[in-house]
Amino acid sequence: MQTLLFPGQGLRPAQWVLSLFFLLLVSPAWSQGIIKGTIVDDEDGSPLQSATVVVDNSRLGANTNQRGAFEITVPSFPITLIISYTGYAQTRMEVSAPSQSLLIRMKAEDLVLDGVDIIAKGMGERLQQDPRSVEAMSITGIKATPSESFYAGLGNLKGVDINGSIGFKVINTRGFNSAAPVRSLQIIDGVDNQSPGLNFSLGNFLGASELDVEQVEIIQGASSAYFGPNAFNGVISMRTKNPFVHQGFSVMLKGGERNLGEVAVRYADAFGGSAGNERFAFKFNAYYLTVNDWEANNLDEVDVADSLKVGVNNPGGYNAVNRYGDENLNASSRTFTNNSGQLTYPGLGTFHRTGYLEQDLVDYGTWNAKLGAALHYKIQDDLELIGASNFGAGTTILQGDNRYSLKNIRFFQHRVELKHASRGFLRAYLTHENAGDSYDAVFTAYRLQDNRWADGNWTRDYRDNYRNRFVPRVQNIDGFPEPSVVFDPVTGMVTVNYDYELAQQILAQNQDSLLLWHQQNRVFADRNYLQPGTAEFDSLFNSIISSTIFEGRGTRLVDRSALAHVHGEYVFQPGWANIVVGANARQFRPVSEATIFQDTLIITDRTLPDGTVVKDSVRSKIINTEFGVYAGIERKLFDERLKLNGTIRMDKNQNFNFLFSPALSAVFLLRKNSQSDVLRVSFSSAIRNPTLSDQYLFYNVGQAILLGNLNGFEDLVTVDSYLNFVKSLDPNTLEYFDVAPIKPEQVRTMELGYRGVLLDDKVYVDATYYFSFYRDFIGYNLGVDLGFAPGVALPNFIQAYRVAANATDRVTTQGFSIGLDYFLSKDYRLSGNYSWNVLNTVSDDPIIPAFNTPEHKFNLGFHGTDLTVFGAEHIGFSVNYKWVDGFLFEGSPQFTGFVPSYGLMDAQLNKEFRFDKGNLILKLGSSNLLDNQVFQIYGGPTIGRLTYLSATMELD
pLDDT at residue number 205: 83
Calpha distance 357→680 (Å, rounded): 51
Find the mean pLDDT for residues 186-214.
89
- Torsion of the alpha carbons at 404, 405, 406 and 407, rounded to the nearest 10: -160
E-state strands within 488-641:
494-497, 562-572, 578-589, 600-607, 613-619, 624-637
Calpha distance 756→758 (Å, rounded): 7
pLDDT at residue number 4: 35
pLDDT tens digits along 279-293: 999 999 999 999 999
Q: Would you say 155 and 883 are in contact if contact means Cβ atoms under 8 Å apart? A: no
Task: Sort strands 234-240 and 184-188 into parallel, antiparallel or unpaired.
Answer: parallel
Residue 955 gets the label, from left (phi > 0), alpha (psi -120 to 50) or beta, of beta
Q: Would you say 358 and 895 are in contact if contact means Cβ atoms under 8 Å apart? A: no
Q: What letter does residue 934 receive in the DSSP assignment?
A: B
Calpha distance 225→580 (Å, rounded): 12
For 412-421, 605-614, 683-692, 854-863, which range has the lowest pLDDT when averaged over its residues?
A: 605-614
Q: What letter does residue 108 receive in the DSSP assignment?
A: B
pLDDT tens digits along 300-358: 998 876 666 888 999 999 999 999 988 765 555 555 555 555 678 888 888 999 999 99
Calpha distance 923→948 (Å, rounded): 8
For 510-524, 742-756, 837-851, which range has the lowest pLDDT when averaged over its residues?
A: 837-851
Q: What letter does residue 44 receive in the DSSP assignment?
A: T
HSE on the CB side for 375, CA within 13 Å?
Answer: 7
Q: What letter does residue 320 receive in the DSSP assignment?
A: B
pLDDT at residue number 120: 36
pLDDT tens digits along 53-77: 888 877 677 878 767 888 888 877 8
Question: Residue 511 — pLDDT band, cuts 50, 70, 90?
Answer: very high
Calpha distance 622→619 (Å, rounded): 9
pLDDT at residue number 192: 92
Question: Residue 124 — pLDDT band, cuts 50, 70, 90?
Answer: low
Total residues belonging to the chain: 956
Calpha distance 132→309 (Å, rounded): 46
Q: Would you say 328 and 259 are in contact if contact means Cβ atoms under 8 Å apart? A: no
Q: What letter does residue 258 receive in the DSSP assignment?
A: T
pLDDT at residue number 808: 87
pLDDT tens digits along 3-44: 333 333 444 444 444 444 444 444 443 345 788 888 987 766
For 240-249, 573-582, 674-683, which range has the lowest pLDDT when averaged over its residues?
A: 674-683
Which residue type sits at 111? L
For 429-438, 634-643, 766-775, 846-855, which range has the lowest pLDDT when averaged over its residues?
A: 846-855
Query: Greater confidence, 701 or 117?
Result: 701
Q: Would you say 95 and 63 are in contact if contact means Cβ atoms under 8 Å apart? A: no
Find the mean pLDDT for residues 831-838.
96
What mean pLDDT value characterizes the chain? 86
First to last CA, the chain: 57
- How far, in whole angstroms, is CA 547 from its chain's centroid? 28
Query: Greater confidence, 836 or 67?
Result: 836
Q: Would you say 697 and 598 are in contact if contact means Cβ atoms under 8 Å apart? A: yes
| 3 state SS of 126 | helix
Q: What is the DSSP string of 579-595?
A: EEEEEEEEEEE---TTS
| CA-to-CA separations, 518 to 317, 319, 344, 466, 945, in angstroms, rounded | 9, 16, 16, 8, 39
Query: Greater confidence, 951 or 451?
Result: 951
| 279 phi/psi in degrees, rounded to 5 | -100, -25
- Per-residue b/e over 363-385, b at no fewer than 16 CB within 10 Å? bbebbbebebebebebebbbbbe
Q: Is 86 exposed, middle or buried (0-12, 13-18, 19+ CB in 10 A)?
A: buried
Q: Would you say 25 and 90 are in contact if contact means Cβ atoms under 8 Å apart? A: no
pLDDT at residue 80 is higher than 90: no
- Per-residue b/e over 703-715, b at no fewer than 16 CB within 10 Å? ebbbbbbeeebee
| 3 state SS of 340 | helix
Highest mean pLDDT among 75-84, 161-170, 434-443: 434-443
Calpha distance 236→135 (Å, rounded): 10
Calpha distance 353→575 (Å, rounded): 74
pLDDT at residue number 339: 54
pLDDT at residue number 114: 40
Q: What letter does residue 943 receive in the DSSP assignment?
A: B
Calpha distance 887→900 (Å, rounded): 7
Calpha distance 395→398 (Å, rounded): 10
What lies within 8 Å, CB to CB, of 351 at 6+ separation is 316, 317, 328, 333, 462, 463, 518
Q: What is the DSSP string of 347-361?
A: TT-S-----EEGGGT
Q: What is the DSSP string of 512-526?
A: HHHHHHHHHHHHHHT
Task: Sort strands 624-637 and 578-589 into parallel, antiparallel or unpaired.
Answer: antiparallel
Which residue type sits at 83? I
| CA-to-CA separations, 613 to 400, 602, 608, 777, in angstroms, rounded | 36, 14, 6, 45
pLDDT at residue number 720: 81
E-state strands within 323-460:
323-324, 356-357, 365-380, 383-399, 403-420, 424-434, 439-440
Q: Would you say 559 and 434 are in contact if contact means Cβ atoms under 8 Å apart? A: yes
| CA-to-CA separations, 428 to 434, 585, 830, in angstroms, rounded | 21, 10, 43
Calpha distance 823→761 (Å, rounded): 9
| Closest to 28 (Cα-Cα) out of 426, 421, 382, 376 | 382
Opening angle at CA 556, ends 550 and 561, nearest 5: 95
| 3 state SS of 467 | helix
| CA-to-CA separations, 264 to 141, 369, 778, in angstroms, rounded | 18, 10, 40
pLDDT at residue 629 is higher than 50: yes
Q: Which helix or strand (DSSP H or E) is residue 644 part of?
A: strand 642-653
| Closest to 710 (Cα-Cα) out of 690, 693, 695, 720 | 695
Q: Would you say 709 and 741 are in contact if contact means Cβ atoms under 8 Å apart? A: yes
Question: How much is the pTM?
Answer: 0.84
pLDDT at residue 721 is higher than 60: yes
Please give the share of the chain, as a percent, with pLDDT higher than 90.
50
pLDDT at residue number 20: 46
pLDDT tens digits along 154-182: 999 999 999 888 888 889 998 888 888 88
Calpha distance 142→216 (Å, rounded): 9
For 477-491, 656-670, 871-885, 901-915, which range has the lowest pLDDT when averaged over its residues?
A: 477-491
Find the mean pLDDT for residues 726-754.
89
pLDDT at residue 184 is higher than 80: yes
pLDDT at residue 936 is higher than 90: yes
